[in-house]
Amino acid sequence: MRTRAIYGCAGAELSADERAFFRKTRPWGFIVFARNIVDRDQLRALTTSLRETVNDGKAPILIDQEGGRVARLRPPHWRERPPAARFGALYGENAEAAREAVYLNARLIAHDLAEVGLNVDCLPLLDVPVEGADNIIGDRAFARDPATIIDLGRAAIEGLMEGGVLPVMKHIPGHGRAAADSHLALPRVATGAEELSATDFVTFRSLAHCPVAMTAHVVYEAIDPQRPATTSPKLIRDVIRGEMGFDGLLMSDDVSMNALSGPISVRVKASLFAGCDVVLHCNGKMEEMREVAEEAKPLDGQALKRAEAALAHLSEPTAFDPGAAAARLHSLLGASA
């Protein structure tokens, strides 16, 4: 039986220790970063090796491939993709063109991922940034207008799924107001619940059909002043599962980030107790992964059903001409320059 964890690895190929650990712990999935990537052939070999350790040729392997600042696949081996805000700017001029551009961009990203054995992208980002917030979101967001984000987020989800890649909407229930980078510190949001519902939460509520979502390491004081969303049973139960109606697979953001405190094993236990279906651990440090494994119990019950339902959305890509798509995307974006 697989366990409720997603792990990174340290380098461009698996060490003997990593192979043994993954075989023993059988995580639900894996995630790759720039440190794991050299070129197409190497990355394809790595994704094959990761799947061999759990004896599953379709095991989820994730990547953060947004475009702009957050992109693990980069030139010269992969084409650079624009940040989300570029599409939001086009939307202000021509909404139909922007929707098409986002769809094509997501299809092209999915094409890049599928070539090297990656089948989950941590995209789209549905956060609604506000004036004065930390720049950790910034141009990673489509816009400051929830309606624009919903429209373009839907196009991104469609593009990825039709390209054979599972989308992950993030950071549920919203990171846009955070005045701190949750990689470094724990952000606290004092905005009232009604305003949050009408702005920050509405994008996720409107796209709750997305098969996977990633939590925000953010405290929403009006709902749970003690715990960030990732470890808050109240927020996950009442807002994410309740108000938003999200019944897909809920994964934590990286439990090694500094927004969370205490030993790694305690963070994992708190995330799973709160209602996360699986936990994400990214840095590839073996001593920390062993701590995760202490608490990452077998994937069963409702969490298993959600994981199976999410993977059931994976299908072979629909017919697609990447050359024609790239030319069309360039034309659409060029028109907005």
Could you give the residue numbers annotated as active site? 183, 253
Cα–Cα separations (whole angstroms), residue 203 to 76, 208, 246, 291: 35, 9, 12, 34
* CA distance linking residue 234 with residue 32, whole number of Å: 31
Token digits for 91?
């939307």
* CA distance linking residue 291 with residue 262, whole number of Å: 12
Would you say 9 and 288 are in contact if contact means Cβ atoms under 8 Å apart?
Answer: no
* CA distance linking residue 290 with residue 264, whole number of Å: 9
Residue in the block written with tokens 């994964």: 251
Nearest residue to 158 (alpha-carbon basis) of 208, 102, 120: 102
Would you say 145 and 289 are in contact if contact means Cβ atoms under 8 Å apart?
Answer: no
Residue 111 CB neighbour total at 10 angstroms: 18
Cα–Cα separations (whole angstroms), residue 159 to 76, 162, 202: 24, 5, 21
Would you say 143 and 90 are in contact if contact means Cβ atoms under 8 Å apart?
Answer: no
| Residue 119 CB-half CA count within 13 A | 22
Question: What are residue 63's DSSP bridge partners?
Answer: 32, 121
The contacts of residue 136 (CB under 8 Å, 6+ apart) are 175, 178, 180, 181, 182, 183
Token digits for 45?
């070999």
Cα–Cα separations (whole angstroms), residue 112 to 53, 220, 274, 307: 24, 37, 35, 24
